[in-house]
A and B are shown apart, each in its own frame.
Chain A
């Protein structure tokens, strides 16, 4: 089965790379290098994107209209990327899924026995 997410069905989980890219764009628009640094920071170094992986993911997100491209006024060599309404909707669906999973884990007292840092995205 393909691991790639079909964004037309928002029930499928996002890959870690796509999740962190959307997370980095949820608060402000960024250029490619900015996204890379923010993903590294947000994931505490666990998700490191090379330029190949980053722009491969960006192309797919732009093609699927989850992310929009914007020319930079200050630096014409760079392009900025921002989340679209569809991108934000899918990102929020994913956050809700995490929230529900964490609530369920808390209710079953599972979070007391495991460290949060070892939680792996499913």
Chain B
């Protein structure tokens, strides 16, 4: 169980970091298009700020999303007995796309996350769920190789 919890936490953290960096780049790109000067220091400052302030918020969205998505992925992989990793990747990505859509339909503002205002941004942000699914599946149970290494 501890391994599953750690794998889940790492999936959330890893996906949140990637999602944060992606959304920061979208925000900065919009400013660059307005001729706002964004040098490396400013870019790093923006990433740092967003990792501290946006990262925890997006992680809070990922936790329930991944919990549901990964259970569905596990059920599908057991039921169909094939391609476990792909089910987790697909479930993470689709789960996040559904979660973003649901949040935007419920939140008072039309789009909660600025990067999701464009189709490309929405796809890239949702793909962070797929990345989370990949991390979780990679870590949540020992691979056959690891089990062999544990034999005396």
State yes or no: do A and B come from one complex: no
A positions within 8 Å CB-CB of B:
none
